[in-house]
Structure 1
């Protein structure tokens, strides 16, 4: 009799834990890392960063939320009009909305972050050019990847659109400012226990 009672209590505890975990994954924090190559590679050669996002599954297949983080872009020397520009490193802090579509509970997903990207770092694009770097611009980060309950593995293109700001003209050549990378990333999902 004691054994049956213990089994029943154990099964009830496991079931209630599974229900609570299933509910908690309706609202989650996503913590991730990304890296990639600058495209085009004008003033930077590569980028890497951390992502932080909150997501609410409005339906089992559709998520909305907010996203931020930090991306560090590594400046690289670039030959323009017979002069070598010593481009500075810079950072991007996105303030964005998050949209995700999950066709199945596990498998391929698509999504994007869109908002504003704040550009940080040295005041000038290059240490030897005297051209001010942009302060920011429209931010877009489309991604496609694989997801399960705990992990997202994805390919992404991350870009801050700055227009003509930060363009360096040297002689008969010019360098447009680039704050975009294409690469891969990994994110871990932490359920918040706010499901119904």
Structure 2
């Protein structure tokens, strides 16, 4: 059921985005974001991991100066502790951001599916990643809470900080 809800939400976001008329992709409204994250595992994840390090990649379209949507992916690596294996999460998500001003505070959230790596009998589950941060024309600095509600009632969570650089389309 979780997979169905994620798929419907993701496709709904994409279809709403695709039906917008007169989309003009320019360096002023569309760019890639690439960066890193670092976090401390929580919940089920803190039982087997001591640290999470990740890569964050996004494609963003700015509808107006305040509202942006896009797709998000990357990779979060959970370093194993106490003889546990390392695991990873690869998200496939849609994201929304609200920018209060051209430089300053933003709120955002990613919603999608988190694919687990190096885990037997569990492919992943619902992926949520709310964020609050500061942005300017080139950089985004943010705090986040990441949760993948995987199969077999396993919640893989971490709380941390991230930074991304905006790569403008030319």
Q: Shorter-chain TM-score category?
A: 0.7 to 0.9
Structure 1 contact 44–178 (Cα < 8 Å) conserved: no
Q: Which has the larger radius of gyration?
A: 1
1:163 positional shift: 5.0
TM-score, normalized by length of structure 1? 0.69
Confirm whether residue 75 of structure 1 aligns to residue 80 of structure 2: yes
For the 8 Å contact 1:154–1:185, the answer to whether it is kept is yes
Offset at 1:190? 1.1
- 28-37 or 42-51: which moved more? 42-51
Stretch deviating more after TM superposition (35-44 or 143-152): 35-44
Displacement, 1:122? 4.5
Task: Give the Å deviation of 1:43.
Answer: 1.9
Return the alpha-carbon distance in structure 2 between the equivalents of residues 65 and 88 of structure 1: 33
Write out the 4+ residue segments of structure 1 that deviate beyond 2 Å after TM superposition. Answer: none
The DSSP-based 3-state class of the residue aligned with 2:128 is: strand
Report deviation, 1:138.
0.2
How many residues are matched?
A: 143
Gap regions ≥5 residues in structure 2: 1-25
Structure 1 unaligned segments of length 5 or more: list them. 1-22, 78-85, 124-131, 166-176
Q: 2:87 aligns with which of 83, 87, 90?
A: 90
TM-align CA RMSD: 1.4
- Aligned position for 1:153: 141
2:123–2:151: 8 Å Cα contact kept in structure 1?
A: no
C-alpha contact (below 8 Å) 1:25/1:190 kept by paired residues: no
Give the corresponding residue for 1:38. 41
